[in-house]
Amino acid sequence: MRSRWAPVPAWRRYLRAGQAEEVLRQILPGDPLRLRLLAADRITAAARLVDVDRVVVRAMARISHGAALHGPPASEAWLIEEMELAIEDTVDAGIVDPGSAGPFLRALAPGAGIGREALIRSCVAFNRRSQEERVAFWSLMLAAEPLDEAARRYETSPTEFARRSRRVLTAIMRAAGESGAA
């Protein structure tokens, strides 16, 4: 899947401000680095269930700090790497309480027919699975891709691809049924 993301032309000028707070003041209004779009692309590529807003805020903090320390990067690849690290930081931080779940999970919980706490446990269980398993589940269940096409695209047998997805489904259903925190 080709990324739809690209920062605005001359994007490096936003990273030349000096201190991290100054850089942040440059990249926050109007999202000139187009970090929301980059976050959506990278979250999908990593098959993660996280709140985009939390990831973007974390990425802005990482990018501001890195630019203040080292100056503007030589290429857009640095922004992508920082976004991927921000996604993993967000996954590692988890969701401390249901109120911090963000709009994505708050909207998803009623449609899933389970409470927010159970949905959060399910998302944590999903994010703990291997990338191969998450990608299989994401492809089949969330993107509704046909099994044969998805398996071919990821160069595995349809049987193995379906097993990966089933392992994720088992983990998230088990987490949803638990009464305590994951």
Going from N- to C-terminal start, the domains of the chain cover 11-93, 102-177
| pLDDT at res. 107 | 60
- In CATH, the number for domain 102-177 is 1.10.10
Instruction: Say if residue 154's pLDDT is above 90.
Output: yes
Report residue 4's pLDDT band, with 50, 70 and 90 as the boundaries: confident
Read out DSSP for 84-110? HHHHHHHHHH--SSGGGSHHHHHHHHH
DSSP-derived secondary structure letter, 129 = S
- Chain-centroid distance of CA 93 in Å reads 13
Top pLDDT among 68 and 1 is at 68
| pLDDT at res. 132 | 96
Top pLDDT among 7 and 1 is at 7
**C-alpha span between 28 and 150 (Å, rounded):** 37
Q: How many CB atoms lie within 10 A of CB 110?
A: 11
Q: CB-side exposure of 105: number of CA atoms within 13 Å?
A: 26
Instruction: Say if residue 177's pLDDT is above 60.
Output: yes
With a pLDDT cut of 70, the percent of the chain lying above it is: 86
